Structure 1
Amino acid sequence: MMAEHIDKTRLNNDIRYRFDFISKLIDFSQDDVTRLNSLAPIITPLLPVVIDSVYKKLFAFDTTKRYFQVRNDGFEMFTPNKELGITLDIVQTEFRKDMLSVYLKSILTQREWNDSFLEYLSRVGQIHTNKGGSASINVDYIYMNALFCFLEQLLSDIVWNSEGLQYNDKREGMRAISKFVWIQNDLLTMHFSSTWNSGSTCQSIPIAKLTKCLFI
């Protein structure tokens, strides 16, 4: 069997080409997208619990909690009111919780992983680095990697414990979640790599003007 030629230059310049290659490697297909869509009614009602668990975990360590105490782009005009318990970290945390909710809902409901959606997934990685237009945020990759690992566990647990799914549906659902996480992880990793041509990333993404850090 002749091996398919892969252009390494295009892997580091073309998100669609990179996604198609990774998809072939891990057998991610439209069936997986459809499977994620089918999980939306099961997972979406439990997202508030998932997101609270994520941020409880992030606040459990000083090295991740510190990102919520840095004045992020977009909060320059915010004035804390400690008498009312309104602090910068609380307001920024609520913003990031909302963004994480929007992101997960998009993953579960997106029916076609078109170029615009891939640019969005790419931007999720880029925005957490100093390449994303935010001078105040440069999250270490170790935290982003761990965050998505923890997210995968939480989402998989929901699927596994769902009484409305047959065993095969649970298995395929958990596999689809795992594949999504590893695709997103690759699109995170490339922005922490010196080989990726960051200038090729399109700015026309579903959520406009992402000048702030999203999750951390």
Structure 2
Amino acid sequence: MVEHIDKFRMQNDLRYRFDFLSKFINFDQNDVNMLNTLAPIIFPLLPALVERLYKKLYSFDVTKRFFHLRNDGFESFPVNREVGITLDFVQTEYRKDMFSVYLKRILTQGQWDDSFIEYLSRVGQMHTPKGGSAAINVDYMYMNALFCYLEQLLMEVIWNAESLDQRKKQEAMEAISKFICIQNDFLTMHYGATWNKETSCANIPIVRLTKCFFR
């Protein structure tokens, strides 16, 4: 029997959208538990992993340029080039810390409840002008590339993890792949024109994030 999916509701109900996508890609609590299992493996490697991620962003002028712009919260920052303290350095270090916090939350979240789903949605929204600041407008292509490269880095960590047998490595890679798929969908829906930005998960407060991974 073919299951009916309400296309309109998919564009207006975040939980409904997530439930459909999860069912389609077979993302369930076992995958969440596997992400939790990866936490103690990935956490010690996070500084080096995030460093590689931002080194990649700095290796292309189209992505590096975002870190040279003076953004909210850094308007009065005093530049001191003599000691290597520049605006782009401070802003990049701040973004690195934010990305580390984001990854830690992904790996430690025990239940992907409505509040957490809203958090993932907000990660997508905050990189667009829809997030509340017209100054923030990172092309979707760069966001997609960022998460694609993140997936490669995480896969590398899993592949080299001596504490995981081959079966666990396979399960871990599948869980990471599904997480990237879900986050990427929550990116694309805010870059497109079909998502109703006024809607969210029912009866929960809107997650207010003011800083993104680029700016």
Query: What corresponds to 1:204 in structure 2?
Result: 206
Partner of 1:131, secondary structure, is helix
Question: Distance in 2 between the 1:129 and 1:187 partners?
Answer: 12
Contact 2:67 2:214 in 1 (8 A): no
Residue 114 of structure 2 corresponds to 115
Distance across 1 between alignment mates of 2:83 and 2:138: 30
Q: Is the 8 A contact 1:100 1:215 kept in 2?
A: no
User: Equivalent residue for 1:151?
Assistant: 150
Tell me, in whole angstroms, the C-alpha distance in 2 between the residues paired with 1:212 and 1:167.
38
| Cα distance in 1 for residues equivalent to 2:46 and 2:214 | 14
Identical positions, percent: 65
Aligned to 1:61: 60
In the alignment, residue 159 of structure 2 is paired with which amino acid? W
Q: Which runs of at least 4 in structure 1 moved beyond 2 Å after TM superposition?
A: 201-205, 212-216
Partner of 1:186: helix, strand, or coil? helix
Query: What is the CA-CA distance between 1:203 and the residue it aligns to?
Result: 5.4
Aligned partner of residue 199 in structure 1, secondary structure? coil
SS at match of 1:170: helix
1:213, distance to aligned residue in structure 2 (A): 2.2
CA RMSD of aligned residues (A): 1.2
Residue 69 of structure 2: aligned partner: 70
In the alignment, the residues of structure 2 paired with residue 194 and residue 47 of structure 1 have an alpha-carbon distance, to the nearest angstrom, of 35
Match of 1:141 in 2: 140
AA at the equivalent of 1:194: A
- Counterpart-to-counterpart distance in 1, 2:205 and 2:69: 25
Letter in 1 for 2:79: P
Matching of residues 43-62 of structure 1 within 5 Å: 43-62=42-61
1:167 — aligned with what?
A: 166
Is this contact kept in 1: 2:79–2:86, CA < 8 A?
Answer: yes
* Alpha-carbon distance in structure 2 between the residues aligned to 1:215 and 1:49: 18
What pairs with 1:95-114 in structure 2 (closer than 5 Å)?
A: 95-114=94-113
| SS at structure 1 position matched to 2:131 | coil
CA contact (8 A) 1:35 1:172 kept: yes
Give a deviation string over 1:122-163, Cα, whole Å, max 9, x none. 010001001111221100000000100100010011011111
Quote how far apart the aligned CAs of 1:215 are: 4.1
| 2:124–2:190 Cα contact (<8 Å) kept | yes
Preserved CA contact (<8 Å) 1:33 1:176: yes
**Residues of 2 paired with 1:203 and 1:58: CA distance?**
33
**C-alpha separation between the residues in 1 aligned to 2:102 and 2:193?**
26
Cα distance in 1 for partners of 2:211, 2:75 equals: 11
Query: Following the alignment from structure 2 to structure 1, what is the Cα–Cα distance between the partners of residues 97 and 145?
Result: 20
Q: CA deviation at 1:61?
A: 0.3
In structure 2, what is the Cα distance between the partners aligned to 1:129 and 1:135? 8
The unaligned stretches of length 5 or more in structure 1 are none
Structure 1 partner of 2:11: 12
- SS of 1:198's equivalent in the other structure is coil
Counterpart Cα distance in 1 of 2:9 and 2:74: 37
SS in 1 for 2:103: helix
Distance of 2:89 and 2:205 partners within structure 1: 29
Q: Deviations over 1:2-51 (max 9, x none)?
A: 21111111111111000000001100000000000001110111011110
Shift of 1:77: 2.2
One-letter amino acid of the counterpart of residue 97, structure 1: K
For the structure 1 residues 31 and 215, does the alpha-carbon distance in structure 2 shift closer, same or farther, using more than 3 Å as the test?
farther
In 2, Cα distance between equivalents of 1:71 and 1:135: 14
Letter in 1 for 2:20: F
Structure 2 residues not aligned, in runs of 5+:
none
1:38 and 2:37 aligned: yes
Give the count of matched residue pairs.
Answer: 212
